[in-house]
Amino acid sequence: MTYDASDGIPKLGLGTWQNTDPEECVESVRYALDLGYEHVDTAQAYDNEKYVGEGIERSSVDREDIFLATKVWIDELAYDDVLSSIRASLDKLGTDYLDLLYIHWPAREYDPEETLAAFDQLYDEGTIEHVGVSNFEPKHLDVARETLDAPLFANQVEMHPLLPRDELVEYARRNDIQLVAYSPLARGEAFDVPELNDVAEKHDVSEAQVSLAWLVQRENVAVIPKATGRDHIEDNFAALDFELDDEDVAKIDGLDRREREVDPSFAPW
């Protein structure tokens, strides 16, 4: 394990959305960590924090060598609710601190002054190492940065070759914010993109590895593909073992398809 808090977010992590079968979730987290993953992402809304915590406990990796993140759901964003819900999340996860805590969406009970004051409180007391947000657009990031006392460390968003989020990448670069890409395979759509098929064949790798490599080679971007089976966990991890060349990157950057896979009714765009 090579994770150090000064390094920022490990470039590739394990996403756990929809991983709600108790034993499968526990085992996938344990296996990923023992394989070499350093970053595990969950959320209150995923209803699996307890299983993620058990997976961490069963692994051979020390807690301090794991970058662990969760998210506060939109019904728990009032000041007192943030604090009480995080106590519950910590108990489920079996830890006394989080490396990163996100606001899951700027929606429903989200109020910048009240919500971010609770995040500042958690940061000041050492319960969370970093403050993050998720699904924030630049206008929401501006308000959050102005409101927070703590540094705004990360923004987790849908990002993949069919939704490259160039404006947010540039914003993150200018303001020293980490972007964390969820749904990096566009919920399977990436497997049927001819340009990705060509690059995968050229390197004798999977389309998943091509998409993940394209993301991790971008500045200030980490990626959290979800996976439950060992084969997929291993395949995703292997994306760290090769680099796309300039021709590959140009081919992917040149895609003219733009598809958003996550678009709930309360989304802020």
Catalytic residues: 46
Whole-number Å distance between alpha carbons of 119 and 114: 9
- Return the exposure string of 64-98: e unless at least 16 CB atoms fall within 10 Å of the residue's CB, then b: eebbbbbbbbbebbbbebbbebbeebbebbebebb
Whole-number Å distance between alpha carbons of 159 and 128: 25
The conformation of residue 98, written as its DSSP 8-state character, comes to B
Which two structure tokens, joined as six digits, stand for 48? Answer: 């699996």
Which two structure tokens, joined as six digits, stand for 37? Answer: 């993953």
Q: Would you give the distance in Å from CA 244 to the centre of its chain?
A: 22
**Maximum Cα interatomic distance, the chain, rounded to a whole number of Å:** 53
